[in-house]
Structure 1
């Protein structure tokens, strides 16, 4: 159907129809896109919430609905309206998660306000698509009061028969109230961030950076201590911390040849993130090089991220000095793999004995190996019994006293936090180990996933399978609770079902189609997998998928959002 452009309408509406027609909008019944995984806790949402609460309470039982969207026209909130109006809005997908851009649904109060960058009232027949002509809607853009950037739209919608010129004034007033709230929140958040910043500067006397939405500060110590190129590298590295809600440590390689450790700590005002403070510690070149050279390629080790290279540097440095160390990390991060690779590189002619904490003859074997001059690694040391720990303490003391022919390099692997919880390991055994190296979880160096995928596939002899860019990007969004071990299992599963060609996003296992960070129960995991399978079977048609699963359309949309399913 083509909308006639010669109808007697306002020029702004006529031009909007022309844009809609050029975008090939279905004039009978367009289908706005649905987006899951939307962040509903933004500056706009927080500022709008009390304003919409107040307005909706004033409009109780009135046939008027208040709608908030982001700058792309995606509905974030919908309040008020009598049951009849809500049903009508549901029937045209004017609901949270759906995008009402003009290029998708034609002339409307939300999308057209975004297009023209100003408030607009669209009455019944002025809508481009037939299904929207029973409504009247007034949209007013919301801009950031400091930056002037477009944040979204406040829309007031009612049935066309109830339209009133006051709608537009009402929408503009609400938008102004939201902008005022943004200023109030920004002032309070900035004050909280600056308070933390000044406190850290006074307390540490070192280099400090403050990161906020509209605030960036680098103290005088940092400006004096680092030249302009190093400062630029530090500022660029802080991008990975911006917006973080948990403490985070980053490593930055600087153009000057030094490296720096950036410790990020978030600042909150109540439950709202105000920004974060970054403390910077410089490391001398000795911590960045081995034998005067940059980190070498290690056998069986893949990864070029700054964090992973720094971890390798720490282990290599300890190996070069025969400094006993503890490799600590989550299951599956590659603790023993890294230790073995470093040993093979640093001491290729020395014998290495690797013992597991559960070995019933560990003490006897460890003693014999050390006496023979071998280096010794003990895997899963957090599982050692008290009796074995006592025996190892005696053995290590003997080595320290010089009773063996040659000092061996000895290392332990433990799970994160376990050495602190197990008193006997912490107080007796670990006193012999002056260094603990934290092996980072995969989620902290996701940029290494493409190289890991190629290496793991090749190591498994799977040479005819490659992953598409979309599939790789999805793998880089996942939390990887099982780290590299879990990635290896996923790739094995992929290769079992596809032995050649390119693996696309749809070919990944169901567990890879969800980005939720919370742990799912077994029943939830089964339900998530069923939804993923139904969506794949029906080419992403959520309504049909919901029908085959015996759930309503609203329920499947909620489940898709809760499980972080990419559809």
Structure 2
């Protein structure tokens, strides 16, 4: 960079990262995000702190800048008109992302990279346009999780720089951190109050869940065994973060069906968590003489949850009861219906129709199939609309009246939210059976892996215990379809031998339960690839990616990457 005096080590390393990221030395190019969430924990805690500081610094040549953990500017306060014009000229304004990889060495992005406070003075900036400024950034972390929340940055013109900038930034960051602690305590207190009230009034099993809190009352612990408790805890993930009351039904491994009623808890306008009251809708089958569901060709799974669903389908199909199979995409609804119906009535032909593929021809095909004596499955029935829906309703009534296909068995598949189906169609189907997502029966993953590989004609692959355990830890957002795609990706790279952790796609080397953004997924994959390339050497992987060791360690923890 042609510096006239020695450069501090942190600055030199930051310049190297900036160079590796091909940052433009003449013009900063921060990415812009047009939507900023202003009701996060960080924003609520920071607002009064920044209000107070900015009032003290009114018209002073100092600007207070708050960013999130990704370096996106959330708030900018204070500063005289001349300083604000200069900041605008380099896009250091709300919505712009001031990370090192985009704008080079700076108080915000470099603080994020080193994971702690740092001051960048004038010529220490990598980008020429930023050398008119001096800035000091201090990171803000969550008091409970230790996770990074954002950066508090103090920026001034380079000619006004002094060592107090960094002290000022650290003090402001500490005040924000303290307010996060206060809010966390207040939110926990509000949730605890609602939890105790529910325990007193319900007299039954009660759960409470917040960001960092999970509680289960003594009644729930006594009523449900360890396996059912684990299933309940896993099922509550679907309610976590919900801002509206929610009621959902779940089948437990014991055979019991439970009704879970979730009600959110608020502190003012802030969600503190929620309380779930549980009611048993059917007693568990405890008789050891009761036979397990038969192993049906075309289905794979021996877990209690999967066996329970199989048994329900067998009973319904055995009575030729029209039914709806609902559940998340990729759970195997159609495969289950096909397999069980063919097991119960192998002599009958089974037709499958899809509104998305057939459009207006669906009615004609459905009538023809029913008149020929076939049974019928209509998948993705929530897509039925308009004249097709009206015509199908009339056709089903004709079947009920015995005008055509009087002995036909008919089923629908629907996504997890069945509220989209028309009431007039729902009236024909007295039974709804929920096919559980894969995350609710992960003990079936080994059997599913063997079955899916066999169906794909891949017979030479085996999975090490560590690899299989990792597959069973994943959330499988796309369920069985997702697992099939992962196995196909593995098979493209290895057709035989033992699959080790390093052979898994990057997405399977991380166990974070939250939904990643596209940028985060790319970053996770890059880190996994680098770790694989350098045999788990974090220092070498960090160097190849142009990030510090502190950053790569933080990212590994954040994404739950297995090393």
Equivalents in 2 of 1:99, 1:205: separation in Å?
Answer: 53
Quote the residue 2:553 is aligned against.
none
TM value normalised by structure 2: 0.58
Find the partner of 1:437 among 433, 439, 447. 433
Query: Is the Cα contact below 8 Å between 1:2 and 1:27 reproduced in 2?
Result: no
Does residue 391 (structure 1) correspond to residue 398 (structure 2)? The answer is yes
Shift of 1:161: 0.7
Shift of 1:319: 2.9
Query: Is the Cα contact below 8 Å between 1:142 and 1:176 reproduced in 2?
Result: yes
Quote the residue 1:79 is aligned against.
76
Quote the residue 1:411 is aligned against.
410
Equivalents in 2 of 1:24, 1:306: separation in Å?
Answer: 57
Query: Is the Cα contact below 8 Å between 2:234 and 2:440 reproduced in 1?
Result: no
Does residue 66 (structure 1) correspond to residue 49 (structure 2)? The answer is no
Shift of 1:140: 3.5
Quote the residue 1:214 is aligned against.
212
CA change 1:258–1:332 in 2 (3 A) is closer
Equivalents in 1 of 2:198, 2:179: separation in Å?
Answer: 29
Equivalents in 2 of 1:362, 1:115: separation in Å?
Answer: 64
Quote the residue 1:99 is aligned against.
99
Shift of 1:59: 5.1
TM value normalised by structure 1: 0.58
Shift of 1:259: 7.8
CA change 1:259–1:201 in 2 (3 A) is same
Quote the residue 1:318 is aligned against.
316
Equivalents in 1 of 2:297, 2:31: separation in Å?
Answer: 43
Quote the residue 1:18 is aligned against.
9
Shift of 1:241: 4.8
Find the partner of 1:225 among 223, 226, 242. 223
Query: Is the Cα contact below 8 Å between 2:248 and 2:260 reproduced in 1?
Result: yes
Query: Is the Cα contact below 8 Å between 1:319 and 1:343 reproduced in 2?
Result: yes
SS in 2 for 1:25: helix
Equivalents in 2 of 1:61, 1:128: separation in Å?
Answer: 25
| Deviations, residues 180-221 of structure 1 (Å, cap 9, x unaligned) | 432453344334433543454355433221111233211121
Quote the residue 2:275 is aligned against.
277
Query: Is the Cα contact below 8 Å between 1:114 and 1:141 reproduced in 2?
Result: no
Equivalents in 1 of 2:228, 2:436: separation in Å?
Answer: 25
SS in 2 for 1:292: coil
Query: Is the Cα contact below 8 Å between 2:327 and 2:434 reproduced in 1?
Result: yes
Does residue 339 (structure 1) correspond to residue 337 (structure 2)? The answer is yes
| Deviations, residues 25-75 of structure 1 (Å, cap 9, x unaligned) | 25879657978999845321332245435655665665433222445x634
Shift of 1:438: 4.0
Does residue 136 (structure 1) correspond to residue 134 (structure 2)? The answer is yes
Equivalents in 2 of 1:30, 1:166: separation in Å?
Answer: 31
Quote the residue 2:291 is aligned against.
292
SS in 2 for 1:293: coil
Structural mapping, 1:42-57, within 5 Å = 42-52=40-50, 55-56=53-54
Equivalents in 1 of 2:393, 2:420: separation in Å?
Answer: 13
**How well do the aligned residues superpose, as a CA RMSD in angstroms?**
6.2
Query: Is the Cα contact below 8 Å between 2:325 and 2:413 reproduced in 1?
Result: yes
Query: Is the Cα contact below 8 Å between 2:104 and 2:127 reproduced in 1?
Result: no
Equivalents in 2 of 1:236, 1:161: separation in Å?
Answer: 57
CA change 1:18–1:166 in 2 (3 A) is closer
Equivalents in 1 of 2:450, 2:31: separation in Å?
Answer: 31
Equivalents in 1 of 2:226, 2:332: separation in Å?
Answer: 37
Task: Give 5+ residue unaligned stretches, structure 2.
Answer: 24-28, 354-360, 460-466, 495-504, 507-514, 523-563
Query: Is the Cα contact below 8 Å between 2:331 and 2:481 reproduced in 1?
Result: yes
CA change 1:361–1:240 in 2 (3 A) is closer
Query: Is the Cα contact below 8 Å between 1:120 and 1:139 reproduced in 2?
Result: yes
Equivalents in 2 of 1:363, 1:88: separation in Å?
Answer: 67
Equivalents in 2 of 1:107, 1:288: separation in Å?
Answer: 68
Query: Is the Cα contact below 8 Å between 1:67 and 1:75 reproduced in 2?
Result: no
| Deviations, residues 365-417 of structure 1 (Å, cap 9, x unaligned) | 85884xxxx8x446469545665454334339x98xxxxxxxx6833326565
Query: Is the Cα contact below 8 Å between 2:376 and 2:411 reproduced in 1?
Result: yes
Query: Is the Cα contact below 8 Å between 1:94 and 1:100 reproduced in 2?
Result: no
Equivalents in 2 of 1:26, 1:42: separation in Å?
Answer: 30
Task: Give 5+ residue unaligned stretches, structure 1.
Answer: 8-13, 400-407, 464-468, 506-513, 518-531, 533-567
CA change 1:130–1:411 in 2 (3 A) is closer
Equivalents in 2 of 1:487, 1:137: separation in Å?
Answer: 48
Shift of 1:79: 1.1
Query: Is the Cα contact below 8 Å between 2:300 and 2:448 reproduced in 1?
Result: yes
CA change 1:47–1:316 in 2 (3 A) is farther
Equivalents in 2 of 1:89, 1:167: separation in Å?
Answer: 21
Aligned residues: 464
